[in-house]
Structure 1
Amino acid sequence: MRYLLDTHVLLWSRASPERLSPEAVRLLQSTDNTLYVSMATLWECAIKVCIGTLALPDGFFRIVANDYELLDIELAHLEATLQLPLLHRDPFDRLLVTQARLGGLTLVTRDSNVIRYEVPVVEA
């Protein structure tokens, strides 16, 4: 299976995996799965570090690049966000929804607003 990790899932998986559901932990540990992290997620993390709401270990972005498949932001993803209903105003989450849809990925999240979109989800 192919999974796209929401930002909080990526962070929890690295720093506090006990916050994740047993199902999320299993899929993250399975070598049968391909795990994707969006460049939008890394961008969101960088913004939060810059404004002082998130601290990351040195080399975090390189570690993520080595451990996960990175998903670039494409024009089609941006265009697809224009078609989403405004169930959620977070631009990063909206982009993850479109990336999951267009890429045939299952989104791993605990965000109840994201779960409202018609996209395959595993609740984290």
Structure 2
Amino acid sequence: MKDNNEVRLLLDTAILIYAVESPERLSRRASAALGNPENVLELSAVSLAEIAIKATLGKLRLSAAIARQAVQDLDIRILPYTADHAFHLFDLPMHHGDPFDRQIIAQALSEKIPIVKLVW
């Protein structure tokens, strides 16, 4: 169990993909966040759905087995998507057009945790 100094971080979908496929492309700050044992790394269940859909469409080479292994290796906690998260979508401005991004942003707002993105 983490102590009171823990910092919860919600990883953007691309962070997991890059951590597996191109870790050298992660920013120094994102790499440091992934490697800091005081951080509680979380990945939205929405991100897993996004990866699965894009892999099925041939837009990603990431398999379910590789995604599972990465989640385990990086000690990532999967954050379920709840109705409370979905209700936060009503408050988001429409300049967030991607439905996966909108759900992850709503989840981060609901949970009051920052999102680690590629440019972070």
Pair in the same fold by TM > 0.5: yes
The Cα shift of 1:87 comes to 1.1
Q: In the alignment, residue 81 of structure 1 is paired with which amino acid? A: L
Report the 3-state secondary structure (helix = DSSP H, G, I; strand = E; otherwise coil) of the residue aligned with 1:31.
coil
Residue 106 (structure 1) aligns with:
114
Q: Tell me, in whole angstroms, the C-alpha distance in 2 between the residues paired with 1:65 and 1:16.
A: 16
Residue 18 (structure 1) aligns with:
24
The Cα shift of 1:65 comes to 4.4
The Cα shift of 1:101 comes to 1.1
Equivalent of 2:80 in 72, 81, 85: 72
- Does 2:53 match 1:47? yes
Residues 54-112 of structure 1, C-alpha deviation per residue, up to 9 Å, x if partnerless?
A: 111461242244331000010011111121110121011011111111112110113xx
Report the identity percentage.
Answer: 36
Equivalent of 1:34 in 12, 16, 40: 40
Q: Tell me, in whole angstroms, the C-alpha distance in 2 between the residues paired with 1:82 and 1:24.
A: 29
Structure 1: gaps spanning 5 or more residues: 111-122
Contact preservation (8 Å) 2:17, 2:62: no
**Given the two structures, how large is their TM-score scaled by the length of structure 2?**
0.86
Q: Tell me, in whole angstroms, the C-alpha distance in 2 between the residues paired with 1:39 and 1:3.
A: 14
Q: Tell me, in whole angstroms, the C-alpha distance in 2 between the residues paired with 1:56 and 1:98.
A: 25
Q: Tell me, in whole angstroms, the C-alpha distance in 1 between the residues paired with 2:68 and 2:29.
A: 26
Q: In the alignment, residue 27 of structure 1 is paired with which amino acid? A: A
Larger RCO of the pair (alpha carbons < 8 Å, separation 6+): 2
Contact preservation (8 Å) 2:55, 2:63: no
Structure 2: gaps spanning 5 or more residues: 1-6
Contact preservation (8 Å) 2:20, 2:70: no
Aligned residues: 112
- Does 2:12 match 1:6? yes
Residues 21-68 of structure 1, C-alpha deviation per residue, up to 9 Å, x if partnerless?
A: 111111110111000000000000000011111111461242244331
Q: In the alignment, residue 23 of structure 1 is paired with which amino acid? A: R
**Given the two structures, how large is their TM-score scaled by the length of structure 1?**
0.83
